[in-house]
Each structure stands twice: as C-alpha cells, then as structure tokens.
Amino acid sequence: MGTFRPSITAKTGTGVESAEKVGVELVDKAKVIYTPRVKVKTALKGVRLERAERVLDVPYKSSDKKKKKPEGGGGSTPNPGGDGHLGI
C-alpha cells in the first residue's frame, strides 16, 4: 500500500532549553502522513471522479451539535416514511 509515518508539530513559541523539559503539553498537532507506493499512484492515474446526483438511499440529515432532548423520556422515533431504513 505505501508508508505511514507520524508527524507532530509543536506549539508556536514553545522552545525549551533541554530535552528534559519536553512534554506532551508542547504538542500542537499530531497526524499520520500516508505516502502511496508507485503501484498505487499508477493505479490511481486512470481513476475518473464525477459528481453523483444521489448517493444514499435515504435523505442525509446533518447532525446538529445542539440537539434538544426529546420530551417524554427519550427513546427513538420510527422513520415516518416507513421504507424500512433507519434514520441514522
């Protein structure tokens, strides 16, 4: 597949005088960098992307960060469409 390697960046202006003073509180970002092998790069050269008009069988509803708790003790509400899909 390729190579995965970690990458960590320090917070700006957090230089330290010695290695003993280095700690997790100095880390700003941690991520994984993926470098594909030549075979993967070659295989992807022929890939063509196009916009799909409809991807899901059910309408997509973005989740709001501020959800209200349902009145009456909670629980789940069945899908009013009755098409057998869960509204997840």
The 3-class SS string of the chain reads CEEEEEEEEECCCCCCCCHHHCCHHHEEEEEEEEEECHHHHHHHCCCCCCCCCCCCCCCCCCCCCCCCCCCCCCCCCCCCCCCCCCCC
Q: What is the mean pLDDT of the chain?
A: 76
Q: State the total domains in the chain.
A: 1
Q: What is the pLDDT of residue 77?
A: 52
**How much is the pTM?**
0.41
Q: pLDDT (tens digit, 9 = 90+) per residue, 40-72?
A: 999 888 888 888 776 666 666 666 655 555 555
Q: What is the domain range of residue 40?
A: 1-12+25-45
pLDDT at residue 10, rounded to an integer: 87
pLDDT at 9 over 80: yes
Domain presence at residue 35: yes
